[in-house]
Amino acid sequence: MKVSYKWLKEYVDIDITPEELAEKLTAAGVTVENIQYLNKGVKNVVVGQVLDAQKHPNAEKLSLCQVTDGAY
């Protein structure tokens, strides 16, 4: 079973690293096969929301979009 460390922290008060948690779970008899870091190497990513999208008045394959990243 795959369990997200972040998801687990929402339900259990955890103040140790994933590696320390894996050691404790293994010592308690729960097998931890591996720890995967899915965001390794990802930097400077900004999530935005498209507020409005209109066709470009002078181009068929372009759109004019109004977006926000939450920083007003």
pLDDT in tens, 11-69: 999 999 999 999 999 999 999 999 998 888 888 988 999 999 999 999 999 999 999 99
- SS3 percent helix, strand, coil of the chain, rounded to 5, is 25, 20, 60
Element (H, E) at 50: strand 49-55
Q: How many domains does the chain fold into?
A: 1
| Predicted TM-score (pTM) of this structure | 0.55
Q: How many CA atoms lie within 13 A of 19 on its CB side?
A: 1
Cα(7)–Cα(1) distance, integer angstroms: 13
Cα(52)–Cα(55) distance, integer angstroms: 10
Range of the domain at 45: 5-68
User: How much is the pLDDT for 38?
Assistant: 85
